[in-house]
Amino acid sequence: MKTAMQELIDELKLIEAYPMSPLVLRIATELLEKEKEQIIQAFKTGYNVTEYDADEYFDLIYNKNK
C-alpha cells in the first residue's frame, strides 16, 4: 500500500515537463522520508485510543498553530 506522499510523488513524475518539477520532487521525497519516520514512531509507540482521542492527538501534534 502506498502512502499519500508516495502517490503524490508518482503523480508529480508524470508532469516532469513542469519547470519546478525537480525541486518539487526533491521536497516531496524528503517529506516522504519524514512521513515514514512518523509512521514507524507511531507504530512503536503503540498509541491505542478511540477515534475521538486519535483526532485530538493528531491536532495536538500537527496543528500546533491553531
DSSP state of 18: S
Q: Is residue 5 very low, low, confident or very high in pLDDT (cuts 50, 70, 90)?
A: confident
pLDDT tens digits, 7-62: 888 888 887 777 887 888 888 889 888 888 888 787 777 655 555 566 777 777 77
At residue 65 the predicted structure's pLDDT band, cuts being 50, 70 and 90, is low
- Regarding pTM above 0.75, the answer is no
Q: State residue 41's pLDDT score.
A: 81
User: What do you get for the CA distance between the two ends of the chain, in Å?
Assistant: 31
Give the CA angle between residues 39, 4, 12 to the nearest 5°: 130
Domain ranges of the chain: 4-62
